[in-house]
Each structure stands twice: as C-alpha cells, then as structure tokens.
C-alpha cells in the first residue's frame, strides 16, 4: 500500500515515511528527532564519580544538546534553555515552555544527574507544577515510568540529556499542559496579572 502511494505521488517510500511522520507528529516528530540526535559514544563506566571519563561524557552531552537546540531552532521549534548549575555537570537548571492556544506557558526546569547515570535516566522536575497533575511525583518530578524509562533502559548508555528532553519532557508537556490549562490548574501569566490588577 505504502509503495503504491509513493509511486502515485512520484516520491520514494522513505520520503513518504518522513511525510507521514510529519503529519502524525505535527512537524518533525520524536522518531525523526531521535534519528537526528548524536548518540553518546562514551562507555557505561562514565558516570558522575568517574573523573576523566565523566568529563569526556559531559563534553558529549554538551555537543548533543547544542546539536538538538540548533535542530529545534532550524525547525522553528525552540522550547527549552538549560545549563549546568555546577562545574561537575551533575546539577542542571533552566526553562522550558509550551505554546497552547497561541499562548506561551513557561516553567522552571531542574534535574540532578543520578549517580547511576547513564544506566538511570535523570528525573526531570518542574517545581511550580508540583501537585497540579497526577502524572507527577512529589517535588515536581514528572512521571516517565511507563513510556520513557523502558526506552531509556533499552538504549543506555547511548542516550543522554538531550534524549531525556526530546523523548521524556517534550511529550509530557504536550500531553499535560493543554489539560492543565483547560482545567484551570495553570493560567497564562498575562491572565494572572490582568486579574490581580482589577
């Protein structure tokens, strides 16, 4: 069926597959983004307490994050800013945002690199959403156990911080923010300031 459609449209089967991904994911979807991500070449031994090997892993993490950010910007899909909050690169802070109904909702983002990283994925935290959704643990840690953690386990140690953002945080924001907005659990900053002024 797919080949027939490709022949009719005068495109290759792979081009059709990319078009289907764009259609199904509203642009360049997560499958395409994972294929475009640089994977870490560091071995499983490079974890936060491993000295020189961790420094090399951290360089690769930065390269992957820069590549992912550039890819997002080139696709007009810029949605986060993060940086290491300590010289060791074990604590990260920043901002992430989601646009819903043409309004930008921005949240603080923070996470620690677990001692067992990269075998264990970082627990991404959005502290200001703590207690506002059932798909969150205490302290604002987003729930990624069902969909993301098995994927991480399968691809460890190749996956890194950029993958956690792309395949963990981005889908979570896309699923949860519209529900939180529509239920009134979060309000746009313009709505809250105009309400307080009146």
Nearest to 97 by CA among 16, 13, 177: 177
Q: Give the pLDDT of residue 63.
A: 94
Nearest to 150 by CA among 142, 141, 159, 162: 159
Q: Give the pLDDT of residue 10.
A: 45
Q: Give the pLDDT of residue 41.
A: 54
CA distance 197 to 77: 33
C-alpha triplet 31, 145, 46: angle, nearest 5°: 75
Q: Give the pLDDT of residue 47.
A: 64
- Tens-of-pLDDT digits for all 198 residues of the chain? 444 434 434 434 333 333 333 333 333 344 445 554 455 554 445 666 778 888 899 999 999 999 999 999 999 999 999 999 999 999 999 999 999 999 999 999 999 999 889 899 999 999 998 888 888 888 888 888 888 999 999 998 899 999 999 999 999 999 999 999 999 888 888 875 544 444
Give the global pTM. Answer: 0.75
Nearest to 112 by CA among 131, 93, 139: 93
DSSP 3-state of 57: helix
Q: Give the pLDDT of residue 131.
A: 86
Catalytic residues: 143
Contacts of 140 (CB under 8 A, 6+ apart): 125, 126, 127, 128, 129, 130
CA distance 1 to 97: 39
Task: Answer whether 29's CB lies under 8 Å from 35's CB.
Answer: no
């Amino acid at each position: 069926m797919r080949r027939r459609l490709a022949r009719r449209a005068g495109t290759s089967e792979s081009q059709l597959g990319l078009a289907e991904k764009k259609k199904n994911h509203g642009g360049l979807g997560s499958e395409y983004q994972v294929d475009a991500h640089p994977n870490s070449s560091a071995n499983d031994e490079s974890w936060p307490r491993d000295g020189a090997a961790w420094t090399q892993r951290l360089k690769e993490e930065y390269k992957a994050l820069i590549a992912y950010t550039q890819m997002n910007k080139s696709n007009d899909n810029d949605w986060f800013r993060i940086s290491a909050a300590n010289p060791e690169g074990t604590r990260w802070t920043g901002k992430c945002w989601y646009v819903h109904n043409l309004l930008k909702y921005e949240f603080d983002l923070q996470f620690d690199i677990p001692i067992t990283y990269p075998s264990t994925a970082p627990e991404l935290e959005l502290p200001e959403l703590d207690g506002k959704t059932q798909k969150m643990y205490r302290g604002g840690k987003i729930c990624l156990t069902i969909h993301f953690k098995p994927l991480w386990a399968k691809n460890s140690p190749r996956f890194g911080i950029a993958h956690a953002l792309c395949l963990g945080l981005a889908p979570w924001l896309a699923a949860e923010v519209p529900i939180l907005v529509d239920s009134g659990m979060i309000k746009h900053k313009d709505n809250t300031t105009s309400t307080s002024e009146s």
